[in-house]
Structure 1
Amino acid sequence: MFYLRLVRGYRVLDLGRWLLTATAAAVVAAFLLRALGRALSDPPGAHATVQRLLWCLPPLLAIAWFAAVAARALPVQRPERMAGLTAAGAGPVRIRLLIAGELALACALGALLTLLLFLVLRNNIAGAALAPELGMGVPLPLAAPVALLTLLPLAGGLAAALAVRAVDPLPGGEEPDPLHRFGPLRTTLAALLAAGGILTELYALRPAAAYDPRTLHLPADLGHTNAALLGGWAAAALGLGLLTGPLLAGTGWLLAVGRPSPRRLLAGRGLTGAARRLGVPLAVLAFTTAVVLTSVRHWVAPGADGAGPLPAAEAVLVTGCVVAAVLARLVELRALRRPGGAALSRLGASPRLLLGAAMLRWAAAGSVVLATGALTAVLGAGMLT
């Protein structure tokens, strides 16, 4: 009943977040039920069931991450709701559970709708093409789909509960760690990891290694590679992802260094202050885009076998979840900057100045993401050649 009352006060942004979560959960539930149907249709002794379930892991993790980002942004986006809950006696733990329960209900609703559609299609409605995917003609153990679909609300709710800070989320309250600096040790380790991965892949691509056997078979018809290429690319991608936040902060510092104009000063200080919150979402966005573009380039290359519908559908779903998480983080940052923007307007800052600072800030952030994503894509393409 409490969540029904919350729905009555939903805005367009709240409803969109809830519907996106339910839709993504419905698609992942379809993947899980397809794996179950194929397991029922396969002959005894087939060993592809575990592989199909592993294919469901990336979109499941993508939904959990989106739920975590959305839950983290909710107290900032809706401070009046948090203030009302606090005034009603809800403490930090209860508010965290309420936010987690809201997103878990969205995941459960999407999974339930997919399960109903799955059961309807199994009732001799689906054609012969879908019969193996649904396990038609084989009795369906009720515990199997229920156990699989329970993973969705558990993953979404647990990720949301862990993402919300265990502090009193009162409107206007300061975070316990407002510092946006990155430690030199972390930045140095990330740079060394990226450089080591790049050098390892370049060494594995040297002309003398052109005839080395590539014994690792990659999924989704991406061909073969070897351990040195795969390990170098993975280390470089991880290092570049960890460097995204420090690069954003450093770019903001460069914008504000010297005697900057008001536009440069606002853009640089704003980018440096948002680097910690933006680092992880933009790093995941750059990595996901690089992997998807590299895979598509390999699939459409002459002589390639192409990809089946499952990898393509998962790529679309994971990319959608990552983009939605980045948008949720941007909305959170906008809400956090709203008091500062109002103060600048009262001091006489023109809207044109604020708009120019915002455009310069996002141009600098886009350049960082483009650089890290392009380098990751180039290294990935070299691994698949």
Structure 2
Amino acid sequence: MLALRLARSSHPLVQLRRLFVAAAAGGTGFLLLSTVGHAAGHPTTAADSLVRLLWCAAPLAATAQLAVSVARTDPAARLPRGMAAAGLGPVRLTLFAASTTAVSCVLGIVLALLVFLRLRGKLGGSAAGIGADLLGAGHPVPLIGALLLLSVVPLTAAAATAVSLRPRRPRRQAVAAGPRAGTAAPSGLPWGIALTAAGLAIEAYAGRGVGAPGGLLSLPGRLIGSPPGVLAGWALSAFGLVLAGPGLVHVCGLLLCTGRPGALRLLSGRMLQEESHRVGRPLGVLCAVASAVCAAVQVHQSSASRPFGPLTAIGTAVVLGCVTASALAAALESRSARVHTMSALRRLGASASVLHRAAALRALALVLVLGPLTWAVAELATMPLLA
């Protein structure tokens, strides 16, 4: 009852973020159901159906990331003392967050199931368009298997939320002495650069001849003939960008503090260094997805005979929406974490305009560093595919 009352009395913005999770889960669930429908309608092409199922891993991971980001920004997660007084200790608070995430995902899954059945003509009317071809309309679908496959979405999101918000022992903070003490730099930047370079090299080796007529890289809805080496290279370079994200944000802060910075540059740079561990990973994911989407669009524009399929549009919308919302949620979490710092600066005489200019300067620094890097990775990824 307490969990239900907390969910019902949440702020409208909190409810909106949970609806985003439900929408992402619904899109991912619809893609999973489409693989079941395709397998039922095309029993002789099991390999194609398996590839379609493997493509659902990206929307599933993006949905889990969004669920974790939304759970971390939940006001209840930032009030451990008050929740403990109400009977929700650290463990129960984690279970409450995981259960709330699961309920949101189940809501989206139910809507996806209704849409799937409607397009297949099971809820009245006749199947047409996407339902007649890609969803295997007219062929029976194993209900138990479909429900088991759909359960992967809420279980994955709930497990990721529980792992992210699990109770941790407080780390001993080393007492920093002197004015030069600051946040330690993330250690993943060299490894991230190395993995990105290795992924691009693998893609360059495996992508020779892919851009030839009839050999264009395929995506969901046009899955036959996707070279495994190219996909592995893309995945490795994307993982490298994600791993390098915190280090890149920390480098942005260092660049703002180089030379003889004024108060505005110094404040912006120190904040970026402090926030690099929190916002770096979601920004790295956003850069990885943006580079992959740009590369895929450039490759597919080179041949009019291989347009994007309808499932590609759904999967791309789910992934882009999830990673963008996760980055915004991380920024909101970072803003909530530095509220005491902002209050202290206001008490010291800093005006609101100065704080707004500092935020704009931080955003500009991130765009100037991460934007060209994302574009460069996308261009390097498309070169062997268009050769």
- What is the TM-score normalised by the length of structure 2? 0.84
Residue 84 of structure 2 is matched in structure 1 by 86
- Within 5 A, what are the aligned runs for 1:158-237? 158-167=159-168, 180-182=183-185, 186-195=188-197, 218-220=217-219, 235-237=236-238
Cα shift readout 1:293-323 (whole Å, capped 9, x = no counterpart)? 2212222235452221111221111000000
CA shift at 1:339, angstroms?
1.0
8 Å contact kept, 1:267–1:357: yes
Residue 284 of structure 1 is matched in structure 2 by 285
Residue 373 of structure 1 is matched in structure 2 by 374
CA shift at 1:223, angstroms?
10
CA shift at 1:216, angstroms?
8.4
Higher mean alpha-carbon deviation, 44-53 vs 275-284, is at 44-53
- Within 5 A, what are the aligned runs for 1:105-144? 105-120=103-118, 121-129=121-129, 130-144=131-145
Residue 360 of structure 1 is matched in structure 2 by 361
- Within 5 A, what are the aligned runs for 1:1-385? 1-43=1-43, 46-74=46-74, 79-80=78-79, 82-120=80-118, 121-129=121-129, 130-167=131-168, 180-182=183-185, 186-195=188-197, 218-220=217-219, 235-301=236-302, 303-385=304-386
- Paired AA for residue 53 in structure 1: L
Q: Paired residues, what number?
A: 374
> Is the partner of 2:308 in helix, strand or coil?
coil
Residue 171 of structure 1 is matched in structure 2 by none
> Is the partner of 2:108 in helix, strand or coil?
helix
Is the alpha carbon distance of 1:345 and 1:296 closer, same or farther for their aligned partners in structure 2, counting shifts above 3 Å?
same
CA shift at 1:336, angstroms?
0.8
- Paired AA for residue 17 in structure 1: R
Cα shift readout 1:27-77 (whole Å, capped 9, x = no counterpart)? 2221122222222222456443212222222111110111122222325x8
CA shift at 1:337, angstroms?
1.3
Is the alpha carbon distance of 1:87 and 1:305 closer, same or farther for their aligned partners in structure 2, counting shifts above 3 Å?
same
Higher mean alpha-carbon deviation, 62-71 vs 191-200, is at 191-200
> What CA distance in whole angstroms lies between the structure 1 residues aligned with 2:56 and 2:245?
28
Is the alpha carbon distance of 1:200 and 1:105 closer, same or farther for their aligned partners in structure 2, counting shifts above 3 Å?
closer
Higher mean alpha-carbon deviation, 47-56 vs 372-381, is at 47-56
Higher mean alpha-carbon deviation, 85-94 vs 281-290, is at 85-94
Cα RMSD of the aligned pairs, angstroms, is 3.4
Cα shift readout 1:195-223 (whole Å, capped 9, x = no counterpart)? 55567777899xxx899999987332599
> Is the partner of 1:377 in helix, strand or coil?
helix
Residue 179 of structure 2 is matched in structure 1 by none
> What CA distance in whole angstroms lies between the structure 2 residues aligned with 1:116 and 1:14?
25
8 Å contact kept, 1:197–1:235: yes
- Paired AA for residue 185 in structure 2: F
Unaligned runs of 5+ in 1: 169-173
Is the alpha carbon distance of 1:307 and 1:132 closer, same or farther for their aligned partners in structure 2, counting shifts above 3 Å?
closer
> What CA distance in whole angstroms lies between the structure 2 residues aligned with 1:141 and 1:211?
37
8 Å contact kept, 1:215–1:226: no
Unaligned runs of 5+ in 2: 175-181
> What CA distance in whole angstroms lies between the structure 2 residues aligned with 1:51 and 1:197?
21
8 Å contact kept, 2:77–2:93: no
Is the alpha carbon distance of 1:188 and 1:44 closer, same or farther for their aligned partners in structure 2, counting shifts above 3 Å?
closer
- Paired AA for residue 32 in structure 1: L
CA shift at 1:251, angstroms?
2.4
- What is the TM-score normalised by the length of structure 1? 0.84
8 Å contact kept, 1:252–1:270: yes
> What CA distance in whole angstroms lies between the structure 1 residues aligned with 2:44 and 2:253?
60
8 Å contact kept, 1:180–1:274: no
Higher mean alpha-carbon deviation, 294-303 vs 6-15, is at 294-303
Is the alpha carbon distance of 1:189 and 1:294 closer, same or farther for their aligned partners in structure 2, counting shifts above 3 Å?
closer
8 Å contact kept, 2:189–2:248: no
Is the alpha carbon distance of 1:353 and 1:312 closer, same or farther for their aligned partners in structure 2, counting shifts above 3 Å?
same
> What CA distance in whole angstroms lies between the structure 2 residues aligned with 1:159 and 1:49?
27
8 Å contact kept, 1:263–1:357: yes
- Paired AA for residue 347 in structure 2: R
Identity percentage over the alignment?
35
8 Å contact kept, 2:257–2:269: yes
Is the alpha carbon distance of 1:64 and 1:7 closer, same or farther for their aligned partners in structure 2, counting shifts above 3 Å?
same
8 Å contact kept, 1:215–1:225: no
Cα shift readout 1:310-351 (whole Å, capped 9, x = no counterpart)? 112211110000001001101000101111111110111111
- Paired AA for residue 188 in structure 1: P
8 Å contact kept, 1:216–1:227: no
